[in-house]
Structure 1
Amino acid sequence: MGFVGTVLGIFGFGFGITAGLVIGYYFFIYIQPSDVADPEIRPLVEEDQETLQKMLPEIPFWVKNPDYDRLDWLNKFLEYMWPNLNKAICATVKGIVKPIIDEQIPQYKIDAVEFEALTLGSLPPTFQGMKIYVTEEKELIMEPSIKWAANANVTIAVKAYGLKATAQVVDLQVFALPRITLKPLVPSFPCFANIFVSLMDKPYVDFGLKVVGIDLMSVPILYRFVQEIIKDQVANMYHWPKTLEVQILDPAKAFDRPVGLLHVKVIRALKLQKKDLLGASDPYVKIKLTDSKLPSKQTTVKMKNLNPEWNEDFNFTVKDPLTQILKLHVIDWEQIGKHDKMGMNEVPLKDLTPDEPKLMTLALVKKKDTNDAQNDKSRGQLVVELTYKPFKEEELPKTFQQTKTLLVRAPDNTPDGGGMLVVIVHEAEDVEGKHHNNPYVRILFRGEKRKTKKIRKTRDPRWEEEFTFMLDEPPINDKIHLEVYSSSSRIGLRRPKGP
């Protein structure tokens, strides 16, 4: 029976396969379904958004929404730059996070928290598209669609009580739609003062978290819990209209506005060198503040005097007291020929205490280089009194509209009604003249003359230059005279145009 059963089984298996193939082939060839309708062909543009999402789940924003522009060039840029950007970003993160960790760990009785590994991987984020908003304000609004499936590796080691535990973040994925606003736009690099970031929707964040070699995210309940916690926390902090604000430039520096006044009183000079043939000199002092577009100022000339007294006052507008330097040059006046330099010295404004007059006796030197052998020779001394008066907090510009004001109040102790007049020369259009294409502007006010730089080969120049005039009284009956000049490109020709 066993042998017969085996033979019959083999025979039945072979017969069943053969019969199944023949019958199936017959049905496939000769039997046609009768209830199948002709397929309906519709263009993709007629489908709704939900249907398109099901058909093409990874379709980029620039295809789905015509308001979004392609950013293939930016993705290619990131691809080439990512190895260096990866290192730079990781180094910056370490520099920011380490002091914070060192400050916080003592209260938790932790010995150390260190990065064992920190890399964002070899895969850069990709921009699926970007939308730009055009507004009437001085701002730039961008909405990029960002997707990042990174092979990052962030390993943190925690040491406490002689033990060590590690936590590793791997397989990071981030999908986000942020709104990035750069405002206000300013004429100083990088051309915007603040960055505002907010999220237009809850971000998608996924990652693996390994603690002591065990992936905690493999636990379904814990995985969903962590996902929702991250989404809700991020959304609560930065979901529009809430924003993350990052200040790039100080408002006063951003708009290139003065932050104070420097009062310089040139009192006297002592034991100056003899420069004239008759054994005397005709000295005057030339004063210049660095990083200022204003021309230098100078005292009157004291004829045939090696110990002159001036007692003359000068005011300068200060834009950055930490970097600006006051330069003082004592010069011998000559009626014919070049004036002779007698000595100089410099005073950094950061050495001055605000609102406190500082009497200084400066030794005159040939050059500011302390190692120069020519400085060993005595050239006399210059006595000056310097006072830096910063503007009050309420006087500083805080918004773009406030920076448009042309009159800035002077600090206390200035003459009644006095202050500072700020004139900003922006641009000109369609400057006349057949051969005149290098325009500049001359400004005349109360006998003082100022001049902008030349803009070459244009009839629509843009200067964006600022000029200040110190006033002892309000300019009620004064007028500012403006003249647009243009030097011809032809050699030897210079034809001014009227205001």
Structure 2
Amino acid sequence: MDPEIRPIDEQDSETLQRMLPEIPLWVKNPDYDRIDWLNKFLGYMWPYLDKAICKIARNIAAPIIAKQIPKYKIDSVEFETLTLGSLPPTFSGMKVYVTDEKELIMEPCLKWAGNPNVTVAVKAFGLKATAQVVDLQVFALPRITLKPLVPSFPCFAKIYVSLMEKPHVDFGLKLVGADLMSIPGLYRVVQEIIKDQVANMYLWPKTLEVPIMDSTKALKKPVGILCVKVLRAMELKKKDLMGASDPYVKIKLTEDNLPSKKTTVKHKNLNPEWNEEFDLAVEDPETQAVEFHVYDWEQVGKHDKMGMNVVPLKELPPEDPKVMTLDLLKNMDLNDPQNEKSCGRLEVELTYVPFKEEDLPSGFEESSTVQKAPDAIPAGGGLLVVIVHEAQDVEGKYHTNPHVRLIFRGEERKTKHLKKNRDPRWEEEFQFMLDEPPTNDKLRVEVVSTTSRMGLLHPKESLGYVDISLADVVSNRRINEKYHLIGSKNGQIQIEMQWREQLHEL
């Protein structure tokens, strides 16, 4: 019969795909993005990636082979040659998913018709057999997830790899001088075994997890609580003209962006007693220190510094209260002659309480499962964690340099300021230690724009706000939502909140 000729525009989609099977996915499916740049990158890097991947493959295979060969009374299995060849894999498209969680999900479509040279020598019963893998073809649709995203290079803590579909694997296997796959039925059996084993290991939602960095350190999650009790000060120096001073103490952890804690002011007293307690969240006891700064309060003008000192947390025994009398210094430069003059002494009691293992956040699971509060918090109380992620479509009438104000029970916390940004991303975490669940409380979240331009009539303006009831946070333990900003035309802000409750008595 004479062939029927029809224009291409009259063909249905299935016929077109059969006629042109190599059309890239980004052409056939608009959900896939074009990634020619990645194929060029692989082309340039393939000689180096080949060596690196083969080295990893040898290291992974060695213990597996060593474990298996005794079962079959084999003397040894060795790679005589192992190279992936000169043809790199190609990606015909990639899907990228955006979620409200701290993760990046990618689904590339992988095709690899390679020319590897993999030769394996097997020795048993005084004989040696050599097999070679040839004509390898792999078609796979993996899902690659980078999570959690963290503010430390390389900006993700783990890689999770899974397969969305069963991979297509095709190859030849030759013995020296013979084609092993010519044995009837062997090719299909071997191919199906390999395909099923790979699919069973990593078919979604099962995943291969590759740790990159310690996510607890990368995210700077608290690992303990420092209980600080400011007892008293002795022999402080006069700062006021009337022969007295009005001292108070500021307490702060190094490498911590949270506001300092402050004692009350003791008026006209050079030997004040406070006996006031404060709790500070510790992120790294090996590198952090607690700073004490004593000031003379002034009703008008700047408060005068009276002395300071620092205690490294690594000097504190865990869970053992330590009373210390600190000599107050002008500064921490030991060579400064000003430090030879006495500025008085400060007596404090410090107790470092590390979290128990079950209280520590473990990787990305911290975002979906909320841990309980540390033992340092009284029974019935807990830790309210507020994470300010990002905002969209915020715009001021006069300027748009946004930061976020959090107001909770009269206490105010602020994110960093971002300049000229209508879609700001902060990714900042704030913690509130509470003696009781905030069931009847609300959290005020306000986006504010400020400018330092001189002479402007409106140096500060609100870009929108929202009052969030915390009852749902207490009952659900975790909420991660976007809220419409009141007073803004289209503005939204994404806020994550966690309630870590103390579940048992001390």
Q: 1:315 aligns with which of 268, 274, 279?
A: 279
Q: 1:137 to 1:471 in 2, by over 3 A?
A: closer
CA distance in structure 2 between the partners assigned to 1:315 and 1:484 by the alignment = 28
CA distance in structure 1 between the partners assigned to 2:141 and 2:51 by the alignment = 24
| Structure 1 residue 75 displacement after superposition | 0.8
Task: Give the equivalent residue in structure 2 for 1:17.
Answer: none
Q: Which structure is higher in helix share?
A: 1
Task: Give the equivalent residue in structure 1 for 2:160.
Answer: 195
CA distance in structure 1 between the partners assigned to 2:52 and 2:78 by the alignment = 18
Task: Give the equivalent residue in structure 1 for 2:309.
Answer: 343
| Structure 1 residue 368 displacement after superposition | 8.3
Task: Give the equivalent residue in structure 2 for 1:487.
Answer: 450
What amino acid maps onto 2:386 in structure 1? V
Q: 1:390 aligns with which of 355, 359, 377?
A: 355
SS of the residue corresponding to residue 454 of structure 2 reads coil
Paired residues for 1:184-223 under 5 Å: 190=155, 195-208=160-173, 217=180, 219-221=182-184, 222-223=186-187
Q: 1:223 to 1:426 in 2, by over 3 A?
A: closer
TM-score by length of structure 2 reads 0.65
Q: 1:76 aligns with which of 30, 36, 40?
A: 40
Whether contact under 8 Å (2:168, 2:195) holds in the other structure is yes
Q: 1:437 to 1:47 in 2, by over 3 A?
A: closer
SS of the residue corresponding to residue 182 of structure 1 reads strand
Paired residues for 1:93-172 under 5 Å: 93-94=57-58, 96=60, 118-131=82-95, 142-154=106-118, 169-171=132-134
SS of the residue corresponding to residue 400 of structure 2 reads strand
CA distance in structure 2 between the partners assigned to 1:456 and 1:373 by the alignment = 41
CA distance in structure 1 between the partners assigned to 2:270 and 2:177 by the alignment = 86
Whether contact under 8 Å (1:111, 1:160) holds in the other structure is yes
| Structure 1 residue 242 displacement after superposition | 5.3
What amino acid maps onto 1:81 in structure 2? M
What amino acid maps onto 1:472 in structure 2? D
SS of the residue corresponding to residue 116 of structure 2 reads strand
Q: Does 1:442 align with 2:405?
A: yes
CA distance in structure 2 between the partners assigned to 1:99 and 1:274 by the alignment = 69
Whether contact under 8 Å (1:430, 1:460) holds in the other structure is yes
Q: 1:51 to 1:107 in 2, by over 3 A?
A: closer
Q: Which runs of 5+ in 1 are unaligned?
A: 1-35
SS of the residue corresponding to residue 75 of structure 1 reads helix
What amino acid maps onto 1:388 in structure 2? V
Q: Does 1:43 align with 2:4?
A: no
Q: 1:197 to 1:309 in 2, by over 3 A?
A: same
Whether contact under 8 Å (1:438, 1:489) holds in the other structure is no
CA distance in structure 2 between the partners assigned to 1:173 and 1:47 by the alignment = 33
| Structure 1 residue 127 displacement after superposition | 1.3
Whether contact under 8 Å (1:134, 1:140) holds in the other structure is yes
Whether contact under 8 Å (1:187, 1:255) holds in the other structure is yes
Task: Give the equivalent residue in structure 1 for 2:257.
Answer: 293
Q: Aligned residues: percent identity?
A: 51
Q: Which runs of 5+ in 2 are unaligned?
A: 466-506
| Structure 1 residue 180 displacement after superposition | 0.6
What amino acid maps onto 1:390 in structure 2? F
Q: Does 1:177 align with 2:140?
A: yes
Task: Give the equivalent residue in structure 1 for 2:198.
Answer: 234
CA distance in structure 1 between the partners assigned to 2:104 and 2:78 by the alignment = 39
CA deviation map 1:345-378 (0-9, x unaligned): 32149x764xx33527588799989xx8679x89
| Structure 1 residue 234 displacement after superposition | 2.4
Whether contact under 8 Å (1:197, 1:245) holds in the other structure is no
Task: Tell me which of the two structures has the higher relative contact order, counting C-alpha pairs closer than 8 angstroms and 6 or more residues apart.
Answer: 2
SS of the residue corresponding to residue 229 of structure 1 reads helix
Aligned residues: 448
**Which is further off, 437-446 or 296-305?**
296-305
CA deviation map 1:190-213 (0-9, x unaligned): 468662512413421315456xx5
| Structure 1 residue 451 displacement after superposition | 1.8
CA distance in structure 2 between the partners assigned to 1:225 and 1:142 by the alignment = 32
Task: Give the equivalent residue in structure 1 for 2:414.
Answer: 451
TM-score by length of structure 1 reads 0.66
What amino acid maps onto 1:347 in structure 2? L
CA distance in structure 1 between the partners assigned to 2:40 and 2:134 by the alignment = 22
